[in-house]
Amino acid sequence: MTRSYKRGGKDSPQAFCDLLNLLLANTVMAVGASLHLQQGERRNNYIVGGRLLAPIQLRDGKFLRVYYGLAIQGTSEGPRLKVINSGFKYQVDIDGKRWIFRYDYDRFPRRPYPPTHFHIRGDLKENCLPGGEVLEDIHFPATRVSLEAVIRLLIDQFGVSPATPRGIWRKLLAKSEADFLDIAHRGLSGPKR
């Protein structure tokens, strides 16, 4: 599947969506849940996410909003599938009002926030934010975060029970994440100007 989406052909977006479903089905996704591929607003643009971009249910009863904006773009090596933006939000409710953490990536940011950042919904032990800001509004800079890293976090730190034995899901995530890191676009942690 990785080779298929890396080729950049017309079947690349579906191969990418199939890979994400394979990773999630073997780890944290509830039985019956799945991600779907949708045509974007422009030709060669696609969206991967839950049905109608709703979050997918997880094995712990909580939800994960998974979103990928994709485009097939020309490169010196021919057409390639590119992630234009992506996001993950671990949440207690389907509406996302009771979220726990979220991660956002934007290849071409239009705001002064780091193009790759995460948010934590919680309370600080120290009163250190200016002007009455709350922790969940802070954009913590990060490097590109893979879905595999989020899945590991959910299993190892949040206690979501994996669908397959440790030897299977760890190996699956390691191989897939190595492929991701090989091609991941890594932008600056802030505006270029």
**DSSP secondary structure string for all residues of 47-111:** EEEEGGGPPEEBTTS-EEEEEEEEEEEEETTEEEEEEEEEEEEEESSTTSTTEEEEEEEESS--S
Q: What's the pLDDT at 191? A: 65
The confidence score (pLDDT) of residue 181 equals: 85
Tokens 């994709």 belong to 70
To 10 degrees, what angle do helices 147-156 and 166-183 make?
Answer: 150
Are the beta carbons of 58 and 30 closer than 8 angstroms? yes
Query: What is the predicted pLDDT for the residue at 88?
Result: 97
Spatial separation of the C-alpha atoms in residues 28 and 172, rounded to whole Å: 13
Residue linked to tokens 């990928």: 68
Q: What is the pTM of this model?
A: 0.90
Question: Distances from the Cα of 193 to the Cαs of 82, 111, 189, in angstroms?
Answer: 24, 12, 12
pLDDT of residue 192: 64
**Residue ranges of the chain with pLDDT lower than 50?**
none
The pLDDT score that the predictor gives to residue 24 is 98
pLDDT of residue 77: 86
Tell me how far apart the alpha carbons of residues 23 and 12 are, in angstroms, rounded to a whole number. 17
Q: What does residue 55 show for φ and ψ, rounded to 5 degrees?
A: -70, 160
Residue 82, pLDDT score: 93
Best CA proximity match to 5, nearest among 77, 83, 61:
83
Q: Is 36 helix (H, G, I), strand (E, B) or coil?
A: strand
